[in-house]
Amino acid sequence: MMAKIAEEVEEKKANKFQWFLYTGVIPVLFLIVVLLIVFSVAGINVFEKAQEYSQKIPFLSQMMEEEPSKTMEDLEADTIELEGIIKDKEAQIEKLQQELEGKDTEIERNKLEIEQLQLQIDDLLAIQEENKRAFQDIVKTYETMSAKKAAPIISQMQEQEAMQILSNIKSDNLAAILENLSPEEAAKYTELLTNE
């Protein structure tokens, strides 16, 4: 029952639309076509007249205003101007690309320099470690030497070198070496060792 009522309502709506189409829209369109034919046969350009009348109505005149058509020379000038802008932009892009490549090259150069400096640091650390081991070997040598043989060698060394060795020797060996030095030298090295 409800479905039947819904179908009837739909039919009535469709019938009303068809009636409006047949009695309103189609006759108006037909009338417009006939009038356009009559006016064009009479030599009246309907579109020009419509444009003239629309110019007299304020808000329509603003809508109907057209840009004045550009001449060929204007278009050529615009084209030349746009080509100039494009060339400027291309030059800017090329300049930026060159700067970017320069920065990349500089970064690579800096990376290589950092690697070289790191290698130098590693070499210096290795040399320092080797020197430390060699110095410890020298100190052990003086510790194993008899004090009578070590004392004359120490007295012939420069003060700084002698101090380095004496400050690293064990205290019992140091005492024995100082006993075998002359009293002046023993006093000098004792004073230097206590000030260290």
Same domain, 151 and 115: no
Residue 15 lies in a domain: no
**pLDDT recorded at residue 110:** 93
Q: Is residue 71 part of a domain?
A: no
Residue 2 lies in a domain: no
Residue numbers of the domain that contains 123:
84-131
Is residue 92 domain-shared with residue 50, that is, in the same domain?
no
pLDDT at 6: 64
Domain boundary (7, 36, 65) is at 65
Q: What is the pLDDT of residue 10?
A: 67
Position 79 in a domain: no
Taking the C-alpha atoms of residue 26 and residue 53, their distance in angstroms, rounded to an integer, is: 27
The whole-number pLDDT of residue 14 equals: 67
> Is the residue at 88 inside a domain?
yes
Q: Is the dihedral of CA 128, 193, 177, 149 positive or negative?
A: positive
Asked if residue 196 and residue 149 are part of one domain, the reply reads yes
Question: What separation in angstroms does the CA of 171 have from each of 7, 28, 91, 102, 192?
Answer: 121, 127, 79, 63, 15
| 152 and 195 fall within a common domain | yes
pLDDT of residue 64: 55
Q: Tell me the residue type at 94.
A: E
The pLDDT score that the predictor gives to residue 178 is 85
Query: Is residue 7 included in any domain, yes or no?
Result: no
pTM, to two decimals? 0.41
| Number of domains the chain contains | 3
Q: Are residues 151 and 194 in the same domain?
A: yes
The predicted structure's pLDDT at residue 4: 65
- Residue 3's pLDDT is 64
Res 69: pLDDT: 63
What parts of the chain have a pLDDT lower than 50?
none
The answer to whether residue 94 is domain-embedded is yes
